[in-house]
Amino acid sequence: MAVDNGSRAIGLPDDELIRKYVHGCHILHYYNIVDAYGHISVRLSESVFMMSRYMAPALVSSAQDMVLYDVESGEALKKDAPKGFSERYIHSEVYKAYPNVQAVVHSHSLEVIPFSISSTPLRACFHIAGFLGTGVPVWDAATVYKENPQASNDMLVRSTEMGASLAKALGPADDEGLPKYPVALMRGHGFVATANSLEMVIAKSIYTIHNARVQRSAMAISGGMEGVHFFSEREAHDTALTAMAGAAKPWPLWVAEVECHPLYKNNV
């Protein structure tokens, strides 16, 4: 871990975490959670988080690709840091709002976007995705920029104000310091997923996509939502506890898949 002097970290974490982060970037690409766009972050301390520099996740490969950010401001700790993502404020504001969130993913998945722009909610209907509950909230960037006529309407989260609004859509923090809703959709944009570990946020991202596919297939063959048997609130709660407790099981498989793939390089 990076050393925290009470306000800022002074160095990168150990190689084990960086190696895991690089694998995480590759796994997200392998499972079509991200393409050239999208990103993942990991919290290093109360006040610092880490992301890759501005590059496609599939190409992240080394410690030199890492940038450390201040949770409070969303700005890089080093003035000469490599160029970062303009939407880093998604991550900084989630970490600020939820003290026990340890990792965040932002995706533009085409499997999920239809649920962000239609009247059909994304709901848990697949047991490994019970964490989605009986309805995933949808955040609309227009709720922020409509208050500022001069602001860009490009749907991107480029400021702490936009990031804070998005984080609020995840609901209040629970007793464990985690958001009520671990996933929120972003209208016409994608989704944000949160978790208490790097492995878990990747699992939630993958199974959010799987649930979207299952739900769309079920709706197609049944003629709409009315013919789909969704999970009850209790079923969603209990399946989330059971399935996510075993999230560590697929991690070695996911790592093996990307390690043997010629595109992905992990030089840590």
Query: What percent of the chain is modeled with pLDDT above 90?
Result: 88
pLDDT band at residue 1 using 50, 70 and 90 as cut-offs: very low
pTM here is 0.93
Active site residues: 87
Helices 251-259 and 15-30 cross at an angle (nearest 10°) of 80
Question: In terms of DSSP H, where are the helices of 4-126?
Answer: 15-30, 88-97, 113-117
User: pLDDT tens-digit profile of 14-48?
Assistant: 999 999 999 999 999 999 999 999 999 999 999 99
Q: Is the model's pLDDT at 8 over the cut of 90?
A: no
pLDDT band at residue 247 using 50, 70 and 90 as cut-offs: confident
Confirm if 99 and 80 have CB atoms less than 8 A apart. Answer: no
pLDDT at 245: 78
pLDDT at 244: 76
In this structure, which amino acid lies at residue 85?
F
pLDDT band at residue 10 using 50, 70 and 90 as cut-offs: low
Domains of the chain: 15-259 (3.40.225.10)
Question: How far apart are the two ends of the chain, measured CA to CA in Å?
Answer: 15
* CA 230-232-237 angle, 5° bins: 115
